[in-house]
Amino acid sequence: MKFKKNEKTAEIVGVSFGDGSLTKRKDNKLRFQMRGNIEEREYYDKHIKPLFDNSLGTMHIANYSGKKPYYGISSDSQEICKRLNLLGIPIGPKKELSIPQWIKQEQGYLRNFLRGIVDTDGSVFCGRDYNYPRKRHGKLRMSIGSTSSILISDIGKSLKDFGVHHLILKPYVQKNPAWNKLYKIQIDGPNVDDYVIQIGFKNIKHISKYKVWKKFGFCPPYTNLNQRNKILSGKLDPDSFYQDALVCGGGRAWSNAQIHQHGALG
């Protein structure tokens, strides 16, 4: 298989910066692993695995169903691991990262890199809007965080190049003193529409939240992918997640009983 630097491999760098790791084992051989929430299985099966298989070589499915279940891909192929390193993915801990220069030089590459890292390491959510008549979660937001200030700066500059307005928040000091400060970018409201138009999502987890918000003007929190798909297909009323609030005049947050009832995962 020929190895090329192109839009697909640029996206591979993005998703690997997000949820991937390239490590050296005790026998000095390399191993690549990438894993996400079990809810992202469809994203891995339909997009991530084919992306890697067709660009670098066949990846293996990594599926763990223990106390902290995850789903992903892995490879012990030294050829694949070396190719990933040549693309700009570091061996060992991902500390101060930066977008590789070969990606910065081509807009199509940069777009795919941004989509990859946001799809894997970003979040899409709705905050409660107290100006909304029924006090629903209608304030759409996106965010992505990293302990690498250089990477966040690179992402911010790249979003600006695509005309996506954003905020770089003050560094967040994490609870564990052994952890580095967290640098974060936030995209609010209509600017999320700009992101979708200019860059877009491939991760169905993000897509489903965005579609629910577009259709209803809000997206209930703590919903899982199956619930959001039912909301979009008309099989589940998004207002049903606010039953306590409706009874009490719209001012209450969810009760624990409601969250349990709906099987909410976040």
**pLDDT 10s per residue in the chain (266 long)?**
677 899 999 999 999 999 999 999 989 999 999 999 988 999 999 999 999 999 999 999 988 877 888 999 999 999 999 999 999 999 998 888 999 999 999 999 999 999 999 999 999 999 987 776 678 899 999 999 998 999 999 999 999 999 999 999 878 776 766 667 889 999 998 899 999 999 999 999 999 999 999 999 999 999 999 999 999 999 999 999 987 544 444 434 444 344 334 433 33
pLDDT value, residue 1: 63
pLDDT value, residue 134: 73
- In whole angstroms, give the CA distance from residue 27 to residue 76: 12
pLDDT value, residue 172: 76
pLDDT value, residue 104: 96
Give CA angle at 213 (209, 44), nearest 5°.
15
Domain boundaries, the chain: 7-95, 220-266
- In whole angstroms, give the CA distance from residue 87 to residue 9: 8
pLDDT value, residue 153: 95
Tokens of 230: 């039912």
Per DSSP, helices labelled H in the chain are 7-19, 41-43, 49-55, 78-87, 101-104, 107-121, 149-161, 190-198, 204-216, 225-233, 243-247, 256-262
pLDDT value, residue 178: 64
pLDDT value, residue 260: 39
- The superfamily in CATH containing domain 7-95 is Homing endonucleases (3.10.28.10)
- In whole angstroms, give the CA distance from residue 122 to residue 196: 13
pLDDT value, residue 266: 39
pLDDT value, residue 95: 83
Per DSSP, helices labelled H in 20-178 are 41-43, 49-55, 78-87, 101-104, 107-121, 149-161
pLDDT value, residue 256: 39
